[in-house]
Amino acid sequence: MRALRVWLLYLAVVFVGGALLAPWLYWLAQSVAAHWSFLSHAAASPFHRYVSRSAELLALAGLWPLMRRLRVNSWRQVGWVRPAPARWRELGRGILLGVTVVAFVTVVALAGGVRTAADGVDGAIVLQRLGTALLTAVAVAVLEETLFRGALFGTLKDDFGWAGAAAFSGLVFAWVHFFARAGWSGPVEWTTGLVVLGGMLHGLVVWHSMVPGFLNLALLGAILAVAFHRTGALFFSIGLHGAAVLCMKLYSQFTQPVAGAGTGWCGTDKLVDGWLVVPVLLAVCWVLPWLARPSEEELE
């Protein structure tokens, strides 16, 4: 239970602390932009972005003390092991599974007349968006798998067992991805960040947003945790996560909804908020034991 208390304190510091820090960063940006005009674009960012960026800043700053407090003393403890050939095969299987999952939903959405190809797309746009999406996918997969699977799941499974830790880490993974966009147009005071944070949490009490979107993300997070547990490394989960992020970004950029078509089954641009994703993820649970299997290193 000690690890859980440490994690709950960390999350409280990140989000509440970020909300309290955001006004000060906002005021600093306004002051600096008055003297250096090249920073005016950053200073003009909506206030909710300051709340998000402040939380991210505290999350990164507190990561090293968090790991020390949890007695994580090596990269191997969070899933970063020697990249032997077996590990690269795990990465490849994860990528293949992630591409297959999103490709299946995309084909169904296009064939069912729910989505259609986006207008005004040429070769230059494809290359530009593909490059940006690829960089984002790699960064997100590496950082989030290290934090949510390697650190969070890895330090909780001794207390809760691998199944309980996978469920809890999946819920946290879904929670931090389910913040609503809370706009703010009034004056910024020292408590404004807390008000905006409350608005960002509003998405967690909206039924049509929670079901199935939140459940899909929680199930995906649990799947990634089980993959890490079975393989003993992050390669498979990084491949699956990164491929899914990449393909979902391309899905939102190169397809568009058909006017008048319902979005319940295939979801919106986010894709994970569609009911079709539920049986697809359950199918992933079925094939996972064959794909995310212990490597030769783990069996020695």
The per-residue pLDDT for 194 is: 93
The per-residue pLDDT for 56 is: 87
CA angle 172, 174, 176 (to 5 degrees): 70
The per-residue pLDDT for 106 is: 93
Q: What is the mean pLDDT of residues 84-97?
A: 94
- Predicted confidence (pLDDT) at residue 217 exceeds the cutoff of 60: yes
Q: What range does the domain containing 248 cover?
A: 2-299
Q: For residue range 160-210, list pLDDT tens digits in order.
A: 999 999 999 999 999 888 877 777 888 899 999 999 998 887 766 666 667
Q: What is the mean pLDDT of the chain?
A: 88
Model confidence, pTM: 0.87
Q: For residue range 286-296, list pLDDT tens digits in order.
A: 999 999 987 65
Please report where in the chains the tokens 């970004």 appear, as a residue. 249
**Which is more confident, 43 or 200?**
200
- Predicted confidence (pLDDT) at residue 300 exceeds the cutoff of 50: no
- Predicted confidence (pLDDT) at residue 43 exceeds the cutoff of 80: no
**Which is more confident, 259 or 285?**
285
The per-residue pLDDT for 1 is: 72
**Which is more confident, 1 or 144?**
144
Q: For residue range 232-280, list pLDDT tens digits in order.
A: 999 999 999 999 999 999 999 889 888 776 667 888 888 888 899 999 9
Number of domains present in the structure of the chain: 1
The per-residue pLDDT for 268 is: 84
